[in-house]
Amino acid sequence: MTPEDFRKMVLPEGRRLYALAYRYLNSREEAEDAVQEVMMKLWAERNSRRNLSSVAAWCTTVTRNCCIDILRKKKNLRIGDHRETEAMAAADADTVKAHDAGEAARLVRLIVGRMNEPGKSAVIMRDIEGYTYDETAEALGMNVAALRTLMSRARKQIKEELERIYSYGTGKDKGTDW
């Protein structure tokens, strides 16, 4: 890939890659750093990727992997965050019912942020970023049928977690009559 091809095909993906990185990292600074690192990796690999069917999928995959690496490093530094986030969500369960769709979206982002890979990436790419099944499957290195199964399981996990959070403050729990 020539420098001109890189300018025409890869650089325009920058904004979309930033949005994807921000969805993973929830930090403007970290997302900017991640995209800068991704662009450097893409530049370094530009000549080894001659038979690409989709430059966008290649860029997305590198960005996703970069963000996952950053999150893994952060996870090693902060062990108690999962319990803290869960406690905050449970404590807010009564007030969540009174809030608008923005609050529900915040909860979904928290849940997705705690999901395991590749389900997390699939939900972000397909449901949040709006990629097609074909684009998402290609970026994740799987076939569309496997992606559909993965998406079904991930959505079920999100639904169950939301039900658990919403029922926490009401006293309604599975198996109880109150």
Average pLDDT over residues 120-133: 83
Tokens of 158: 């999100």
The architecture of the domain spanning 79-171 is Orthogonal Bundle (1.10)
* Cα–Cα nearest to 81, from 46, 52, 110: 110
Q: Between 26 and 79, where is the model more confident?
A: 26
Q: Among 28-42, 44-58, 91-105, whose mean pLDDT is lowest?
A: 91-105
* pTM of full prediction above 0.75: no
Round to whole Å and give the CA distance between 38 and 67.
Answer: 9
Helical H runs in the chain? 3-9, 14-25, 28-44, 55-77, 81-91, 93-96, 101-114, 119-123, 133-140, 144-168
Round to whole Å and give the CA distance between 14 and 150.
Answer: 27
Q: Report the CATH number of the 1-77 domain.
A: 1.10.1740.10
Q: Between 20 and 129, where is the model more confident?
A: 20
Instruction: Provide the residue ranges of all domains of the chain, joining segments of one domain with +.
Output: 1-77, 79-171
| Mean pLDDT value across the chain | 76
DSSP 43: H
Q: Is the pLDDT of residue 165 over 80?
A: no
What confidence tens digit (pLDDT) does each residue in 137-152 have?
888 888 989 988 988 8
Peptide bond just before 12 cis, omega within 30 deg: no
What confidence tens digit (pLDDT) does each residue in 49-97 have?
666 677 888 888 888 888 888 888 776 554 444 444 455 555 444 444 4
Q: Is the pLDDT of residue 178 over 80?
A: no
